[in-house]
Each structure stands twice: as structure tokens, then as C-alpha cells.
């Protein structure tokens, strides 16, 4: 379904032009004749995950054939199913079920990414690098690429922005030490500054808003970098306090109205990490 959708979108766009006639069929191909796609977006393959996949394939067989295109006689390239072909090699399979179809280079590159959306998710940095390779090789605009992939231009742009942070920050995103939004707050800094402030963000568990304030303070007063975290957190807390002033006063007025009915009311207020809590107890007697 993903492939047919891609083709409809491509025909509407009229570029890159495809003059290859479809000749799809299924066969059992020698594993040794199947090559990886040079546009394969995965940079690393989890060995444990591959072994688990191999165990499943050994027990139940291959439930979904891989998809390949013909390169030459007895030579094929993976379009979708890189993890499955690698698991098959772990099992020393001689052959593997494959859907053989005809794709041009652009289709092969793009469908390799689309296949990962559906079966083998990419991490954010792998996804961003895949988009950048397609943009560079085929001289596409972000809007055209988004149309081909079934994404919005803002989604593509947001992913690509992750390539503007240092390799260290990208690694933090991959290992989930930083969220994508945290990483984006650092884009306006140079590499060394990004790495410096990232440590503060991670160690002090700053929110995205606090991280954004930290970067702003750094750019305004880089010589005072050691005091930036306390200032950033204080600014966020003050902003939070101002934003909550009206609802807090409203709650207290309501408590006063309840007390005027003769009902005994006890309440406690507390605040931590920018959160304000009011616990109310009503006397049934």
C-alpha cells in the first residue's frame, strides 16, 4: 500500500520522471545475491534485536517477504527489509522470499525510508540524515520531498534542524539523554557552547523552557556562564508565579465563600519545580 501511494504522489509531481515499467513478482532469492541499499537510513543495527528477529524467523518463518529491485543478472538490492535479510544471514539461510519489483534510483532511495516508517523505525538523527541525502542528491525542495514521503514541510524542516547541532548533541538525542526539542534550543550556539550547556541541561534536568532561557542568558552574558542555570530557573519560576496569580486568587476566594456557608475548610499550599499545589479538605461534620 505504501508503494502504490508513493507512485500516485510521484505521478502527480511529474518528477523525478519514471519510465520503468512495473514487473512485480515473488521468488525465493539466494541471500548471497542480495545487496544492501546505499540509501539505507540505519547507521547502526542493534545486535540483540537482530538475534531476536532471527529467533522469530527460525520459529515461524518469514511472515512478510522483503522487497528488492534487480540490479543485474543474479544481483538484487534491498528496498525494504534490511533487518530481515541480516537476520536471515545470522540463520545461514540460503534463500529468502522476496518481492522483486523495478524501481529507479530515486524510488529505491525514497521507498527505503518509507519502509522504515512502517516496519523498522529510525531514530531522529538517522531520519534527518536520510532526508538531507535525498535533498542533496536529487536537488529537491523540502516541500517536494515532504510530498513524496507523505509528510508536512514543517515536519521535514524540524527533523533537518537536528543536523545543526554538534555530533555530541546528536548522540544525546539518539541515546535519549536529550529530547529533540531540548536539542533545538541549542542551535544558535557554536559546537563547544552547545556541548557546555547540554551538560547543564542534562545534569539539572531542565525543562525545554528553562533550556531556552539558559541559551538566551548565555548569549546575553556569556562571561557569566557559571550562574546561568539558577537565573534561568528563577526566571521560569517567576513567570510561572505571574501566570498562576489569577487562578490562585480565584481558588482562595472560592474557599472563603465556602467558609461563609459554615463549612470548615483546611487547605495547604506548596510549590516545587515550577508547580503550585493547593490541597483542600472539607469537614463533613
Mean pLDDT of 261-274: 72
pLDDT tier for residue 240 given thresholds of 50, 70 and 90: low
Q: How much is the pLDDT for 237?
A: 54
pLDDT tens digits, one per residue of 148-176: 888 999 999 999 999 999 999 999 999 99
E-only strand ranges, 25-156:
25-30, 34-35, 66-72, 75-80, 95-101
Q: What is the pLDDT of residue 135?
A: 95
- Confidence check: pLDDT of 16 > 60: no
Structural domain boundaries in the chain: 2-121, 240-282
Q: Are the C-beta atoms of 237 and 252 separated by less than 8 Å?
A: no
* Alpha carbon distance 263, 226 (integer Å): 51
% of the chain surpassing 90 pLDDT: 53
**CA 8 – CA 16 distance, rounded (Å):** 13
pLDDT value of position 208: 93
pLDDT at 118: 66
> Cα(218)–Cα(166) distance, rounded to whole angstroms?
17
The vertex-173 CA angle with 167 and 175, nearest 5°, equals 100
pLDDT at residue number 9? 40
Q: Which residue has the cell 515550577?
A: 274
pTM check: above 0.75: no
Note whether 97 and 58 are within 8 A (CB).
no
User: Using CA atoms, how far apart are residues 248 and 67, in angstroms rounded to an integer?
Assistant: 60
Measured between its terminal Cα atoms, the distance across the chain in Å is 66
At 281 the pLDDT is 81
Which tens digits make up the pLDDT trace of 186-233?
Answer: 999 999 999 999 999 999 999 999 999 999 999 988 766 545 555 555
Sign of the alpha-carbon torsion through 139, 144, 150, 152: positive
CA R_g for the chain = 27
Residue 59 has pLDDT above 80, yes or no: yes
Please state which CATH number belongs to domain 2-121.
3.90.1530.10
C-alpha cell at 35: 545487496
Residue 15, CA distances (Å) to 6, 44, 143, 275 in order: 12, 31, 13, 52
Q: What is the pLDDT of residue 19?
A: 35
Question: Using one digit for the tens of pLDDT, what is the confidence trace for 92-144?
Answer: 999 999 999 999 999 998 988 887 776 667 899 999 999 999 999 999 999 99
Question: Which residues fall within 8 angstroms of residue 72, CB to CB, at 6 or more apart?
Answer: none
Q: What is the predicted pLDDT for the residue at 218?
A: 92
Helices and strands counted in the chain (H then E): 12, 7
Amino acid at each position: 500500500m505504501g508503494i502504490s501511494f508513493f507512485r500516485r504522489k510521484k505521478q502527480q509531481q511529474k518528477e523525478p520522471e519514471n519510465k520503468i515499467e512495473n514487473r512485480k513478482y515473488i521468488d525465493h532469492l539466494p541471500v548471497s545475491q542480495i545487496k544492501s541499499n546505499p540509501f539505507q537510513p540505519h547507521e547502526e543495527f542493534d545486535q540483540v534485536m537482530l538475534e531476536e528477529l532471527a529467533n522469530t524467523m527460525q520459529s515461524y518463518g518469514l511472515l512478510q517477504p522483503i522487497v528488492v529491485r534487480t540490479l543485474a543478472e543474479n544481483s538484487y538490492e534491498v528496498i525494504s527489509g534490511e533487518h530481515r535479510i541480516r537476520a536471515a544471514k545470522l540463520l545461514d539461510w540460503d534463500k529468502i522470499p522476496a518481492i522483486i519489483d523495478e524501481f529507479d534510483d530515486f524510488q529505491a532511495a525514497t521507498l527505503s525510508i518509507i519502509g522504515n516508517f512502517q516496519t523498522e523505525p529510525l531514530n531522529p538523527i538517522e531520519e534527518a540524515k536520510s532526508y538531507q541525502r535525498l535533498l542533496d542528491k536529487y536537488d529537491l525542495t523540502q516541500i517536494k520531498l515532504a510530498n513524496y514521503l507523505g509528510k508536512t514541510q514543517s515536519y521535514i524542516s524540524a527533523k533537518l534542524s537536528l543536523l545543526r547541532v554538534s555530533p555530541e548533541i546528536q548522540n544525546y538525542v539518539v541515546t535519549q539523554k536529550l529530547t529533540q526539542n531540548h536539542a533545538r534550543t541549542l542551535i544558535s550556539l557554536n559546537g563547544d557552547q552547545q556541548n557546555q550547556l547540554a551538560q547543564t541541561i542534562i545534569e539539572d534536568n531542565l525543562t525545554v523552557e528553562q533550556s531556552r532561557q539558559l541559551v538566551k542568558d548565555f548569549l546575553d552574558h556569556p562571561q557569566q556562564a557559571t550562574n546561568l542555570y539558577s537565573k534561568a530557573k528563577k526566571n521560569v519560576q517567576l513567570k510561572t508565579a505571574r501566570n498562576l496569580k489569577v487562578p490562585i486568587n480565584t481558588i482562595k476566594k472560592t474557599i472563603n465563600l465556602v467558609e461563609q456557608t459554615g463549612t470548615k475548610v483546611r487547605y495547604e499550599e506548596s510549590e516545587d519545580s515550577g508547580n503550585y499545589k493547593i490541597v483542600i479538605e472539607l469537614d463533613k461534620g
